[in-house]
Amino acid sequence: MAQRQLTGTRIRERRLSIGVRQADLAARVGISGSYLNLIEHNRRRIAGKLVAQIAEALGVEPAALSEGAEADLITQLHDAWGGGAGAMEDVAAEEFVGRFPGWAGLLAERHRRVGDLERTVATLTDRLNHDPYLAAALHEMLTTVTAIRSTAGILAETREIEPQWQDRFHRNLDEDSGRLAQSARALAGYLEGAADSGSVPASPQEELEMFLAERSYHFAELEKLESGGAITALLGAAETLKSAGAQALARNWLEQYRRDAQRLSLQALMPLMEKGLVDPWAVAQAAGVPLQVAMRRMATLPEREGIERFGMVSCDAAGSFTFRKPLPDFPLPRHGAGCPLWPLYSALCRPLTPMRGTLELTGQQHGAVRAFAMAAPKEDGNGAEELPLIEAHMLLVGGDGGSAERPKERARLVGVACRICSKDNCEGRREPSILREGV
Amino acid sequence: MGKQVLVIEDEPNIIEAISFLLMRDGWTVATHSNGRDAVDIVRARRPDLLILDVMLPGKSGYEILSELRADAALAELPVLMLTARGQAKDREMAERIGASRFMTKPFSNAEMLDALHQLVPGA
């Protein structure tokens, strides 16, 4: 039905636009004028052969009169209508497409663009909601405001309040208002800074991180033995890796991934993971590979039901992050260095010495995280005569490791980064927190 | 002897203000400030009412509430949850787990007292 209506309308439009009379066109294709009239008003089905004859007479391709590209356009118009009031009539969409293809195309194009923009807004909103700095700063402000409001309410509404209580509440108010002023300033500063950087990755390292996160840190292409051109193909297809620097970083990273995959294949690793092993030393021993290889492989497992999800952070000898894969329970700072209390940095001081610890994040309501760390010479080092460059890795997994056989370890209280850490009297603090006064 | 309320909240100045307010209102107030052993404290103290913050060090208020509701002896304990996040999904989450009342920070003292009186009539 749809096709019939549409084709008739288009024949009429085309005929009128080139100034041919209905009777003349009917005569040229050998049908009666009244029959053509019925066709043009979509009241008679029109067969393929007749469409071809009419198309020839009107000087257009038969496809221009029948279905084709327009079907797509109609579907898109229906999508676009989705948000409008009432039901759109099929006939209306088809007539619109038939009579004003340009405008219909424009409308569909605008509709697609709106969809793209809506997705961008959703992504940005999501990012804003999950920005650990922002969330922590806002929570801190609301908490302080709550204390101020309640305390001020007591002072204003309570008759006959003892002087020592009154003094104490005045002191609390002074303290809390100071805290509020400071966190508000810090938040304003942070937002101004964030507006400049926007959502565009600022460095090749960030481009690489975005790329790896998009791919969920796993590359099935590189798990096969013959993966000759796979890295080049991956790099070519990666829209996130725009700069030459990011491409070079990603090539190094993927080559390391492939070397690791050849040393410890998924076939060998998965059975260990399915047994519930989370300790990379046990995995390294069982598989006969160096510890850092086991850690990197565990951090890049495919996401699968029943398989533990690991986070990982690596840094070079200068303490700069070279790899970041955060866990929901253990966010990692985007810029700057982490918390000096992390075993990652202890490991950096004692290469080839495995470290482990149970960590608890300040200000987190989540559970503890177990960390396994070791520093080792970089394996892709070129120039054996030079001093080897050290790289430290820390593998993270949720849970405190407590079990019936082994009592859980005492968790060490650490932060994500000084700026959003509330730990008091911390010997590792190097800059003031936006959450608390003082260093 | 007034009814007993237990306040689990980690911000000292909020604890101080709420404690003062509730004492003046005739409650016996106990406080606790971390999530880890909160469930044990509730079991030991058996309060008539629990005020529970969502963001606590060690364990979240949601986890604590789930554990409390799983215990038949504590399934009926009136619980007022406090949170700085007032989105609908946080509220739904609290209701699903079994919060008796959900209050967003900052709140007014009168709101807080009204809520407590509704939760424990005759207090």
Please choose, from the candidates A375, A364, A376, the residue with its C-alpha nearest in 3D space to the C-alpha of residue A414: A364
Same domain, A103 and A144: no
Same domain, A308 and A405: yes
Provide, as residue numbers in chain A, all residues whose Cβ is less than 8 Å from the Cβ of B59.
Answer: 365, 367
Asked if B105's CB is within 8 angstroms of A153's CB, the reply is: no
Same domain, A249 and A350: no
Residue A289 clears pLDDT 80, i.e. is over it: yes
Same domain, A259 and A269: no
Which of A122, A145, A163 is the endpoint of a domain?
A122
Taking only the tens place, the pLDDT of each residue in A129-168 is 667 777 788 888 999 999 999 999 999 988 888 899 999 9
Q: For residues A143 and B84, is the Cβ–Cβ distance under 8 A? A: yes
**Which of B19, B23, B109 is the best substitution to test chain A (most A C-beta atoms within 10 A)?**
B109
Among the partner-chain residues B55, B85, B109, the one whose CB lies closest to the CB of A157 is: B109
Domain containing A411 equals 265-439
Provide the pLDDT confidence category of residue A122 given band limits of 50, 70 and 90: confident
* Total domain count, chain B: 1
Same domain, A162 and A222: no
Which phi-psi region, left, alpha or beta, contains residue B86 (left: φ > 0; alpha: ψ -120 to 50)? alpha
Provide, as residue numbers in chain A, all residues whose Cβ is less than 8 Å from the Cβ of B106.
Answer: 142, 145-146, 148-150
Same domain, A245 and A275: no
Taking only the tens place, the pLDDT of each residue in A44-54 is 777 778 888 88
Residue A130 burial (CB count, 10 A):
11
The mean of the pLDDT values for chain B is: 91
- Percent of chain B at pLDDT exceeding 70: 98
Asked if A172's CB is within 8 angstroms of B109's CB, the reply is: no
Q: Looking at residue A76, which CATH number applies to its domain?
A: 1.10.260.40
Higher per-residue pLDDT: A85 or A317: A317
Taking only the tens place, the pLDDT of each residue in A230-270 is 888 889 888 888 888 889 999 999 999 999 999 999 999 99
Provide, as residue numbers in chain A, all residues whose Cβ is less than 8 Å from the Cβ of B24.
Answer: 158
Domain containing B19 equals 4-119
**A214 lies in some domain:** yes
DSSP assignment string, A165-177 = HHHHHHHHHHHHH
Which of A224, A244, A263 is the endpoint of a domain?
A263
**Which of B105, B107, B112, B113 is the best substitution to test chain A (most A C-beta atoms within 10 A)?**
B105
Same domain, A298 and A398: yes
**A26 lies in some domain:** yes
**A313 lies in some domain:** yes
Asked if B18's CB is within 8 angstroms of A150's CB, the reply is: yes
Provide, as residue numbers in chain B, all residues whose Cβ is less than 8 Å from the Cβ of A147.
Answer: 11, 13-14, 17
* Total domain count, chain A: 4
Same domain, A438 and A291: yes
Residue A176 clears pLDDT 80, i.e. is over it: yes
Same domain, A34 and A173: no
Among the partner-chain residues B35, B60, B84, the one whose CB lies closest to the CB of A142 is: B84
**A330 lies in some domain:** yes
Q: Looking at residue B25, which CATH number applies to its domain?
A: 3.40.50.2300
At residue B41, what is the residue type?
I
Residue A379 DSSP class: T
**A127 lies in some domain:** no
Which of A197, A221, A250 is the endpoint of a domain?
A197
Residue A330's DSSP bridge partners are: A327
Taking only the tens place, the pLDDT of each residue in A216-225 is 899 998 998 7
Provide the pLDDT confidence category of residue A25 given band limits of 50, 70 and 90: very high
Q: Is B35 on the interface with A (CB under 8 A)?
A: yes
Chain B residue with CA closest to A411: the answer is B58
